[in-house]
Amino acid sequence: MPSLFYLLLASFLFLPIAPAQARTLQTQTLANGLKVILVEEHKAPVVTIQVWYRAGSRNEVTGKTGLAHLTEHMMFKGTPKYGKGEFSRSIARVGGTENAFTGKDYTAYFENLSADQVGLALNLESDRMTNLLLDTKEFQLEREVVKEERRLRTDDDPQSLVVEHLFATAFLVHPYHAPIIGWMTDLNNLERNDVTAFYKRFYSPNNAILVIVGDIDPKKLLPKIQQTFGKVPKGFPVAPFRIAEPEQTGERRFVIKKEAQLPFVFAGYPVPNFFHPDNYALGVLANILFSGKSSRLYRSLVYEKKLALDIGGDYPNLSANPDLFYIYGVPQPGRTADELEKALYAEIEKLKTEPVTDPELQKAKNQIEAGFIMGQDSNFYRAMQIGIAEAVGAGYAYQESYVENIQKVTKEDLGRAARTYLIEDRRTVGILLPQPRQDKD
């Protein structure tokens, strides 16, 4: 069902496409501006079709947060040709699955289905690219569904509240400030016309990428794409995105007090994205800190010190604009957020002063390379890697050369990146302080 990506809950890894696979990739841009990327993979008679729009929560304005995600939900509510529910039913009827997700920089729609049904997905997706009904009653109902989604994922999850608050604190100007699901008051105030305007502005072939991976013959498929997506009229040009976050010059901190069992510590550091050469070193740093039971945080804080029940973090290299390198932990019962926070920073400081060992660097590179080879097993995953890279402006070529660039990272690069970016004055920290419940069982 339509859902949105949460930073912490993203279940996929940002890993690249194998160079060996690149030979089977074909790309073409239609006259209306739609970029088409096709990858042949014949191991099973199935295919994934993904339509990526360069429109996510960063394209919303103050007071209208949640609009990109609500628009995603409305995309399932019918066109004159395929009425409400007909989209999902048509795909299910041929044994397919379909869904969508909204991110900060993009909204993506997908169908996984039998290769001989690819034409159906092309018909349906090209139709709703331009013919959406946007019925007022449906809008009002769906807004209630999204509010339930917000209650489920955020309002009743104290850790999610911390994450939401952290981005709102770290980003003052840039729209990464707002949660993808939107603030509850904004959800209450959104109107059907807001969706109409957002849809008209961003849902056009010239602002989209069509990615298809699977058991396809591009020679036969391209004419079908022309007959469907090729007929969608070109939309307004989308103005370049110009908002940039001013530099942070001192630590920002906040506390959330909620009924909860255990504290939670979440810290973020502004870092460059794929655009900057340091992104490879930051990727390796994230791997060394977070990946596997041999990672530094797990080994030190969970295994040796028995201080953390859970730790983690990530470096989102594929954000359209510079994002946060983040790190989090839940203390073991009986241990404090303060102890855990200090221990997390101690691990980061170590990266600045002591070079990582050769085997440790090699392990990180091996993990990244193995992860990307294993990722080729899934059509859906491969299409996602291409779609994300294209949607955020990195381009699929970035993915193709990712492992090669990771191999070039040196110990010196890691120390320098840690000293440059993972510093106290650029840090934003959120702490969940559990409150005893107001008992009345």
What are residue 359's DSSP bridge partners? none
Of 292, 346, 401, 424, the one binding another protein by CB under 8 A: 292
Q: Would you count residue 373 as binding another protein (CB under 8 A)?
A: yes
Q: Which stretch binds another protein (CB under 8 A): 172-180, 200-208, 325-333, 344-352?
A: 325-333
Q: Would you count residue 76 as binding another protein (CB under 8 A)?
A: yes
Residue type at position 428: T
Smallest gap from Cβ 172 to another protein, in A, equals 27
199/133 Cα distance (integer angstroms): 11
Q: Give the sign of the dihedral formed by CA 66, CA 97, CA 235, CA 81.
A: negative
Smallest gap from Cβ 206 to another protein, in A, equals 30
**Nearer to another protein by C-beta: 320 or 383?**
383
Q: Would you count residue 83 as binding another protein (CB under 8 A)?
A: no
Query: How many angstroms separate the Cα of 422 from the Cα of each of 137, 286, 348, 350, 426?
Result: 48, 11, 7, 11, 7
Q: List the interface residues with another protein, window 146-205 (CB under 8 A).
A: 146-149, 151-152, 155-159
Smallest gap from Cβ 4 to another protein, in A, equals 11
405/225 Cα distance (integer angstroms): 34
Strand order in the sheet with 3-4: 3-4, 97-102, 107-114, 46-53, 208-214, 35-40, 25-29
Q: Would you count residue 247 as binding another protein (CB under 8 A)?
A: no
Smallest gap from Cβ 191 to another protein, in A, equals 16
By CB under 8 A, the count of residues binding another protein is 80
Burial class (CB in 10 A: 0-12, 13-18, 19+), 288: buried
- Residues recognised as catalytic: 72
Q: Would you count residue 317 as binding another protein (CB under 8 A)?
A: no
Residue that the structure tokens 């107001």 belong to? 438
7/5 Cα distance (integer angstroms): 6
Of 188, 193, 362, 401, the one binding another protein by CB under 8 A: 362
Smallest gap from Cβ 120 to another protein, in A, equals 12
219/383 Cα distance (integer angstroms): 19
Q: Would you count residue 282 as binding another protein (CB under 8 A)?
A: no
**Nearer to another protein by C-beta: 245 or 310?**
310
Helices 337-353, 279-290: inter-axial angle, 10-degree rounding:
130
SS3 assignment, position 52: strand
Q: Which stretch binds another protein (CB under 8 A): 28-36, 340-348, 376-384, 386-394?
A: 376-384
Helices 136-150, 192-202: inter-axial angle, 10-degree rounding:
90
Determine how many CB atoms are found less than 10 A away from the CB of residue 124: 23
Q: Would you count residue 10 as binding another protein (CB under 8 A)?
A: no
**Nearer to another protein by C-beta: 240 or 333?**
333
Q: Which stretch binds another protein (CB under 8 A): 1-9, 54-62, 272-280, 407-415?
A: 1-9
**Nearer to another protein by C-beta: 94 or 255?**
94
Q: Would you count residue 249 as binding another protein (CB under 8 A)?
A: no
Smallest gap from Cβ 261 to another protein, in A, equals 5
Q: Which stretch binds another protein (CB under 8 A): 81-89, 102-110, 128-136, 267-275?
A: 81-89
**Nearer to another protein by C-beta: 255 or 373?**
373
Burial class (CB in 10 A: 0-12, 13-18, 19+), 273: buried
